[in-house]
Amino acid sequence: MKQILIRPVITEKMTAISEKENKFGFIVDGGANKIEIRKAVEEQFGVKVVCVNTMNYDGKRKVRYTKTGIAAGRTKGYKKAVVHVAEGETIDFYEHI
């Protein structure tokens, strides 16, 4: 079985959205669909999920200038999911620390 939820997105913008709109962000497996993401969040955190929005991000092109010449490449792309949790429920990412 593949791991669907890779890690939570904890940024200033995502924290503000989670406090204001009760939405939480996750980096997820690229092949996971919305139904699989919903089930994984409900099982792992024990909350009711209202809806799931997903976004695919392409890797950025990076160029470095080195002694031996120009080294060009790309960063890795990823898939992000924003999960809207039912009213009155919340996800605590720092619970087990």
pLDDT at 13: 96
Assigned token pair, 83 = 């999960």
- Rounded to 5 degrees, φ, ψ at 8 are -80, 155
Question: pTM (2 decimals)?
Answer: 0.85
Sign of the CA dihedral running 34, 9, 49, 29 = positive
pLDDT at 2: 77
4 by DSSP, 3-state: which? coil
97 residues of the chain, pLDDT tens digit each? 579 999 999 999 999 999 999 999 999 999 999 999 999 999 999 999 999 999 999 999 999 999 999 999 999 999 999 999 999 999 988 876 6
* Domains of the chain, first to last: 5-85 (3.30.70.330)
| Residue count (the chain) | 97
